[in-house]
Structure formats: C-alpha cells, structure tokens
Amino acid sequence: MIHPAVSLKELNTVAGEIARATEKHKVWLFYGEMGAGKTTLIKEICRALGVQEATSSPTFALVNEYRTDTDNRVFHFDFYRIRHEVEAYDIGVDEYFYSGFPCLVEWPEKIPSLIPPVHARVDITLENETQRTIVITLHDGKEENGI
C-alpha cells in the first residue's frame, strides 16, 4: 500500500494500520534516509499497540523492549551503528524475530542475511519538511503484497 504525502500529524493513521497487521507479520523493517521519520513512525506504532511508556530509538543499546497495556512485548531495534551482522546475531536477534512479538527494525540494510522470509517492509521517503511518502510491502516468504 502506498500512502503519498503523509504529514507528521497523519502518522497515527498509518501506525494504526501497521499495528493491526502485526498479527501476521511480526518483523517490520523500516527503510529511509536519516531524518525521514522512521523513529517517529515507530513511536506511533508502539502507541497503537498499547505501549504506555516513553519510547526512544535504541541507537546505542541496539534493542529496546516495551510492554503494552495487555502485558505483551514490542521490540524496537536500531542497527545504524553496527559494523557487522555478527553484532546483531550476538544479541540474539533471531530469537527476537521468532519470539511471536512485534519487532520494529530501523536500518535493516545492515543485517540482510538475518531478515526472516516473512516480514513487512516500510519505505519512507522524505518529500518535504512536513510530508512523507510511505510504502508498505508484505513478504510472506513467497511473494510480496501491499496492504
């Protein structure tokens, strides 16, 4: 699905759509240049999933774990600072990805061989200061589908 010209104020609509889709697709990969709004969208998704606590990018910790209001977990990864995939492997990223809980991943291009076949891809393109184009593609291990 393509969401053209999404303003920062409209992110909650896209976030709600993604939150609903996490039932089937647990791993969500967020692509976009620095400042495109990946972390901002992930914060809105966490809110839509029922996370009440403050969320922030785990740039130095690599992963943050949040609890939802129903005591489920949401994992937020930021691989911007890793140099080698083995760093992600060493923190047990595969265990997180197959945990059954939503995993929201910034900078997945740093871990290409660790991405499970069933995942969702979110491409965020900065159109101008206040608008983004967001393209969501679902991968079910066979072919890709938009939502």
Phi (first) and psi of residue 131, to 5 degrees: -130, 145
Right CATH number for 2-146 from 3.30.1050.10, 3.30.200.20, 2.40.110.10, 3.40.50.300? Answer: 3.40.50.300
Tens digit of each residue's pLDDT, the chain (147 residues): 777 778 877 888 899 999 989 889 999 999 999 989 899 999 999 999 999 988 888 777 899 999 999 999 999 999 999 999 999 999 999 999 999 999 999 999 999 999 999 999 999 998 888 889 999 999 988 755 555
Domain boundaries, the chain: 2-146
Max Cα–Cα distance, the chain, nearest Å = 38
pTM, 2 dp = 0.90
Per-residue tokens: 142: 């066979």
Among 95, 91, 85, 145, residue whose Cα is nearest residue 120: 145
Per-residue tokens: 130: 């206040």
The CA-based angle 117-31-104, given to 5 degrees, is 60
Give 4-55 as a DSSP string: EEEEGGGHHHHHHHHHHHTTT--EEEEE--TTSSHHHHHHHHHHHTTB-S--
